[in-house]
Homo-oligomer: A and B are copies of this chain.
Amino acid sequence: MRIALLGGTGDIGEGLALRWAFHSDHEVIIGSRDPDRARAKADEYETELVSRGRDRRINGFVNSMAADRADVVVLSVPAHYVTDTVEAVRDKIGEAILVSPAVGMKRDEAGLHYNPPPAGSVTAYAAEAAPSDVPVIGAFHNLSADRLANLDVELDLDTLLVGDDDDAKATVKLLAQAIDGIRPLDAGGIANAPEVESLTPLVINIARHNPGMHDVGVQFK
């Protein structure tokens, strides 16, 4: 499959790009608002992969070109850029699946708190912004970007999928399984996204309060 990572120059985008390029043969495209930056980061990821014996071509484009003819478009941008990013690629999404890994959080002296947009979750917000016939799947929220991006680290973690289109969810499940050490679990429909997205501030708070825990992820059992 052809996977476009919009905002693929950022932390979570970098981690997913490296993992898919390293562990699978899916085509990985980096998108950014700035095409030069997209190309520079794509080159950087290629160099990292070559250093590990994996000679892969990764292209970088402006977001709309990255989304063009992609099978899956990942909105790996901060929550407050989700609408603008969808707007920028609206005419290019075609029959792609949109994937939303972003979470709305606020920070105060007590730590991080879940702070969803009025739609109820970032996944629902992305679904509102997307063309009505484009399926939106929430996924990859609770994976530490640093842990993903460090290919020396075994993941051994779960990621939770939410979405209202079963076929699209099955496709994203396959993409998640393509990364060694990630087990996708179905957490229900988009209406169940708030509880999934709430895990992200939780794991960051756990890392803050428990000595020796860093880049915390989760497993269900």
Point out residues on A near B: beta carbons under 8 Å.
108, 110-111, 113-114, 156-157, 160, 185-189, 191-192, 194-196, 198-199, 201-203, 205-206, 208-210, 213, 216-221
Contact = CB atoms under 8 A, between A and B. Distances in A.
26 contacts: A108-B191, A110-B189, A111-B188, A111-B191, A111-B192, A113-B191, A113-B192, A113-B195, A114-B195, A160-B206, A185-B206, A185-B209, A187-B202, A187-B206, A188-B205, A192-B202, A194-B198, A195-B198, A195-B202, A199-B199, A203-B220, A213-B220, A217-B220, A218-B218, A218-B219, A218-B221
Question: Interface of chain A, helix or strand or loop or mixed?
Answer: mixed
Contacts of A220: 203, 206, 213, 216-219
A205 B114 CA distance: 19
Contacts of A192: 110-111, 113, 201-202, 205
